[in-house]
Amino acid sequence: MKLPRYSSTALPRTEQVDPNLVAAAAQAKTQFVTESLTGLSEFAVQVYDAEQQTKQANAIAKTEADVAGFLASGEWEQEVTPEQKDFMGRTIRESRPMEEKKAEDWATIKKQTSGYLEGLTGRRRREAETALAGIYMKAEIEAQAKADKLRVRRAKNTTFDTVTMLQESGNFSAAREQIDTAAELGILSPAERKSALEQNREQEVLKPYYDAVATQNLSTIEQARAAILTDGSIADAEKRMTVYKQLLAEEDRLQSEEDDNPVFEQNYLKALPRAVDGSLSLDTLIANRDNLTESRFDTLTSIIRARSSNRSAGDFTNTAGEKYINDQIKNLLTWAYRDETVPYSEAVDQAKANILMNPNIGAADAMKALSDIDGYTKSIIDNPDWRQLLDVERASITGMTATGSFMAGDKDVEAEVYESLELGFYRAAMRQGDRFDADKWIAENRFKYRFDAISARAEKGGYNIVINEEATGIDLEKTKIEIINTFRRRTELEPSNDLYQDEEAALASIGREIKYLQKMLGMK
Amino acid sequence: MSFAITAAVVSVGTAAYSISSSRKLAKKQDALGREEAAMEKDVTAERVRQIGREESMMREETVAATAASGVKIGSQSTLEVLAEQKAEFARERAITEKVGASRAAAALGNASLRSQTTKYQGYSAAASGLTNAFSLLHMRFG
């Protein structure tokens, strides 16, 4: 018997996993992976691009600063570079054309700025290169314009120098030609040409009067002074009066010199003993005295007084002469060391030259005076006690031992402070002579020179120096706070700012500045 | 605290919440799936038991009918009928068990898929939030 208990359709159905759910799960997983990867890659791109952008901005900003410094340099005004010397005065680099140096500087800047692009890639690099190319081009045009302008100015100066020389030699037609040529070459503008030609004409007209002054002949100058008032070729009334006054002043000067003639002095000196022994009337002596100017009479009186006081030594002429020369030396050296702009060696040379040119000092006495100056300066420079004192100061300021010597590279602030102190020391020694107390001078001036260096450094570092309440020195603690605050503020600036420092660099700077301050103030 | 830091903290918090809540929901879906599968197993076992009862009742009815007709129980034809009945019920039981197992497996599978979908949706939201937080922090400190 067959048993169809149920049809196949009545059988229970199997159930499968829902394909929609499979698709939804797969989609969710894919979405998660995609979003994670996309997010991470976007973040990485964002970080990388931000770094690139900062580098790019820094590269451009640094280049702009370098270029601005290059163009603004005061060196452009110089035609040649100065000869470089070390502390001992030895030449370490000869002078050369400034344009050559500036070309070298420019090449160095370009090389340096291309280094700023290191690490930049792709679009940021191309953008930076384009910006740099623009900066270079603009700077090169500006530098060329500057160089051209300076060349024209120099050519102009050369033209004017040549014109002046020609005018001085009386060759006014050649001077005119020189002016016209310069105008044709574009060195002088039409207005400058016109002005130079007018000035040439004026010089030509006035030359006879200047020549009259050059003769140093009183009567010639007198004649010229009278003639200029009626000279019809001088159109400018003001100029006429200016030259007239010059002629008058020269005339007065020559007249005064004539009055101060040494012959009058000789006559007076000859008359004096005769008046004393009664062979000459006092009226005659007084008449001779009246021929002398006040200053010459005072000098003469002092010489006579000196001779009288040395009469007992039996060396009447030499001793008095020596004192006179000593006074001259003292005066000259005092003059030399008061002029802060004149270097030590030049001051001594000038003093010697003045003695040699002084008509009141004879050849033998002058040579002795020169020898005395050498001896005097040598005794100061070679004074072992002073040398030791200065060496201690030098070691304290620069950290260099007594035997070390400055080289070109050591020409830093400390070296300049010490050099300035040493020069001041010798100047004071020269001025004060026997009264000079070296220890006292060092104690009184020690801080003054260091303060200049500390102030210069503070200015460079951008912080303030706080002076103590007694105004006798620096308030170290308050100055430290100034330093710390200044460098802390830099960490809060934008990284693109030139003054920005990260925390580590700022701390290092603070440490350096405080250490320097302590060193300059003689603290450990 | 700057706006960027605040926003970054909020983004990280949202991401953490998203992960946590999606994991909780996924676990709940897994548990529901397991419950449904267990129920399918119970229903299948009951059906199999019912088929067993029907089989024994039919066998008794067949034997009684055969005896009443005077046919010998041990005859070839009677034995063939009983054998066919036995095979038929055995096949129905096997089908029922297989269907029940598949329904339980489907319940577990569907629950697992729902759980995965929920979990990955939560992770996606968290990934997006974290990326946003990194970007904000980079803007502030980068």
DSSP one-letter string for A37-85: HHHHHHHHHHHHHHHHHHHHHHHHHHHHHHHHHHHH-GGGG-SBPPPEE
DSSP A311: G
Residue-wise pLDDT tens digits, A475-506: 888 899 999 999 988 888 888 888 888 888 88
H or E element that contains A275: helix A262-277
Hunting for tokens 């003059």 — which residue is that?
Answer: A335
Partner B, chain A 48-67, Cβ-Cβ below 8 Å: 50-51
Type of residue numbered A31: Q
Residues linked to residue A80 through DSSP beta bridges, in sequence order: A97
* CB-based contact B113 A50, cutoff 8 Å: no
Gyration radius of chain B's alpha carbons? 31
> Residues of B with CB below 8 A from A20's CB?
none
Q: Is A40 on the interface with B (CB under 8 A)?
A: yes
Compute CA A251 distance to the chain's CA centroid, rounded to the nearest angstrom: 41
DSSP A474: B
Query: Is the distance from CB of A21 to CB of B112 less than 8 angstroms?
Result: no
Task: Encode burial over A87-115: b for 16+ CB neighbours within 10 A, e otherwise.
Answer: eeeeeeeeeeebeeebeebbeebbeebee
Task: Encode burial over B8-43: b for 16+ CB neighbours within 10 A, e otherwise.
Answer: beebbebbeebbeebeebbeebbeebeebbeebbee
- Give the integer Cα–Cα distance in Å for A269 and A274: 9
* Residue A159, both tokens: 């033209």
Number of A to B CB contacts under 8 A, please give it.
Answer: 95
* Residue A128, both tokens: 């930076």
> Residues of B with CB below 8 A from A27's CB?
117
Cα separation of the two ends of chain A: 122
- B15-34: average pLDDT: 90
Distances (CA, A) of A479 to A126, A454, A500, A522: 46, 11, 21, 16
Q: Is A17 on the interface with B (CB under 8 A)?
A: yes
* Residue A65, both tokens: 């600063």
Q: What are phi and psi of A260, to 5 degrees?
A: -95, 25
Q: Say what the pLDDT of residue A7 is.
A: 57
Type of residue numbered A390: L
* Residue A475, both tokens: 């308030």
Q: Say what the pLDDT of residue A10 is.
A: 60
Q: Say what the pLDDT of residue A331 is.
A: 63
Q: Which residues contact A456 (CB under 8 A, 6 or more apart)?
A: A413
Helix A122-168 vs helix A19-72: crossing angle, to nearest 10: 10
Helices (runs of H) and strands (runs of E) counted in chain A: 18, 2
Cα separation of the two ends of chain B: 16
* CB-based contact A22 B113, cutoff 8 Å: yes
Residue-wise pLDDT tens digits, A401-454: 655 554 444 446 677 778 778 878 887 877 777 788 888 888 888 778 788 778
Q: Which residues contact A180 (CB under 8 A, 6 or more apart)?
A: A193
Compute CA A387 distance to the chain's CA centroid, rounded to the nearest angstrom: 28
Find which of A7, A17, A45, A52 to mutate to test the B interface (most B CBs within 10 Å of its CB). Answer: A17
Domain ranges of chain B: 3-141
- How many Å lie between the alpha carbon of A39 and the closest alpha carbon of chain B? 5
Hunting for tokens 């001896």 — which residue is that?
Answer: A375
Instruction: Spell out, as residue ranges, where chain A has pLDDT lower than 50.
Output: 1-2, 307-317, 406-411
ipTM for the complex?
Answer: 0.76
Helices (H), ranges, A492-520: 503-520
- Give the integer Cα–Cα distance in Å for A204 and A171: 9
Q: Say what the pLDDT of residue A407 is.
A: 47
Helices (H), ranges, A73-170: 98-115, 122-168
Q: Is A28 on the interface with B (CB under 8 A)?
A: yes
> Residues of A with CB below 8 A from B89's CB?
5
Q: Say what the pLDDT of residue A401 is.
A: 60
> Residues of A with CB below 8 A from B127's CB?
32, 35-36, 39
> Residues of B with CB below 8 A from A43's CB?
131, 134-135, 138
Residue-wise pLDDT tens digits, A117-149: 888 888 888 998 898 889 989 999 998 888 888
Q: Say what the pLDDT of residue A194 is.
A: 94
Type of residue numbered B110: N
Cβ neighbour number for residue A188 with a 10 Å cutoff: 24
* Residue A442, both tokens: 């060092």
Strands, E assignment, chain B: none
Residue-wise pLDDT tens digits, A367-378: 877 887 787 777
